[in-house]
Amino acid sequence: MNGNINILKERHWKESMAYSSWQIFKIMAEFVDGFDALAKIGPCISIFGSARTQPGSLYYELTVEISRRLAMEGFGIITGGGPGIMEAANKGAMLAGGKSVGLNINLPFEQSNNEFIDRDKLLSFQYFFVRKVMFTKYSQGFVMMPGGFGTMDELFEVATLIQTEKFKQMPMVMVGRSYWQGLMEWMKNTMLTEENIKKEDLDLFQIADTPDEVVHHMLEYYRTRSLAPNF
């Protein structure tokens, strides 16, 4: 019996290794396509938030206006390409005649891309980590609208990269004081108190409630700094 099990294990291992070899080429292809599409796109802001936010709701309409205002200032808008906050951000960019980028991800039950993405700026990814590289490499600022696990993942991914100096510091604006204040207080009262972060780490984040505040944070930050890819 043990001999049969070992034969099956060996066969499974060889099949897995063969699949992994082909997988490397698929991953490389996604990187090449992404770099090629975004290399000349110019300064952009990534906007993250819930795919469940409905049109007409407070944060949906607020996102449309924030994105529109940022696009009017010359920033392209990058989103995850799906519905909800992503759709609102792409809509705002399109209304302003700005660049509207969608980095869609292939998921079993969601998501289809929204209709407000420029046709030549819609990319689809199989791998979350490749998609994240595109967000972080080509964005000069990040707007965090209310969202769930995915938004939190993106928030702390960016914060970690800046904290560890893997790329330069840049604006991170969390929109919706009532939504984010509890998290900020927890980071201050628990993470900082336990000495798991430094006091200056909290300075990575700005909280805003209005489009004026968001645009101000972005423009003020780059008033004396250059705009360039992050790594």
Q: How far apart are CA 46 and CA 55, in angstroms?
A: 20
Strand order in the sheet with 44-48: 122-125, 100-105, 76-79, 44-48, 142-144, 172-175, 205-208
Count of structural domains within the chain:
2
Q: What is the pLDDT of residue 15?
A: 58
Residue 121: burial class (beta carbons within 10 Å; 0-12, 13-18, 19+): buried
DSSP string, the chain: -HHHHHHHHHHHHHHHHHHHHHHHHHHHHHHHHHHHHHTTS-SEEEEE--TTPPTTSHHHHHHHHHHHHHHHTT-EEEE-SSSTHHHHHHHHHHHTT--EEEEEE--SS--PPPTTS-GGGEEEES-HHHHHHHHHHH-S-EEE-S--HHHHHHHHHHHHHHHTTSS----EEEE-HHHHHHHHHHIIIIIITTTSS-GGGGGGEEEESSHHHHHHHHHHHTTSS------
Per-residue confidence at 8, pLDDT binned at 50, 70, 90?
A: very low
Are 145 and 175 in contact by the 8 Å Cβ rule? The answer is yes
Q: What are phi and psi for residue 134, nearest 5 degrees? A: -65, -40
The residue range of the domain holding 172 is 42-221
Q: What is the pLDDT of residue 16?
A: 61
At position 18, the amino acid (one-letter code) is A
Does residue 1 lie in a domain region?
yes
Does residue 229 lie in a domain region?
no
**Within this chain, do residues 161 and 107 fall inside the same structural domain, yes or no?**
yes
pTM: 0.87
**Within this chain, do residues 98 and 206 fall inside the same structural domain, yes or no?**
yes
**Within this chain, do residues 30 and 86 fall inside the same structural domain, yes or no?**
no
Does residue 230 lie in a domain region?
no
**Within this chain, do residues 132 and 60 fall inside the same structural domain, yes or no?**
yes
Percent of the chain with pLDDT over 90: 70
Q: What is the pLDDT of residue 171?
A: 94
**Within this chain, do residues 7 and 105 fall inside the same structural domain, yes or no?**
no
**Within this chain, do residues 211 and 111 fall inside the same structural domain, yes or no?**
yes
**Within this chain, do residues 35 and 49 fall inside the same structural domain, yes or no?**
no
Q: How far is CA 39 from CA 33, 66, 161, 229, in A?
A: 10, 24, 20, 9
Per-residue confidence at 22, pLDDT binned at 50, 70, 90?
A: confident
CA 146: distance to chain centroid?
13
**Within this chain, do residues 173 and 217 fall inside the same structural domain, yes or no?**
yes
CATH number at residue 54: 3.40.50.450
Query: Which pairing describes strands 76-79 and 172-175: parallel, antiparallel, or unpaired?
Result: unpaired
Q: 44 has which bridge partners?
A: 76
**Within this chain, do residues 36 and 47 fall inside the same structural domain, yes or no?**
no
Q: 């101000």: which residue's tokens?
A: 216
Model confidence over 124-171: pLDDT tens digits? Answer: 998 889 999 999 888 999 999 999 999 999 999 999 999 999 888 899
**Within this chain, do residues 179 and 69 fall inside the same structural domain, yes or no?**
yes
Does residue 114 lie in a domain region?
yes
**Within this chain, do residues 137 and 186 fall inside the same structural domain, yes or no?**
yes
Does residue 181 lie in a domain region?
yes
At position 154, the amino acid (one-letter code) is E
**Within this chain, do residues 85 and 193 fall inside the same structural domain, yes or no?**
yes
Does residue 140 lie in a domain region?
yes
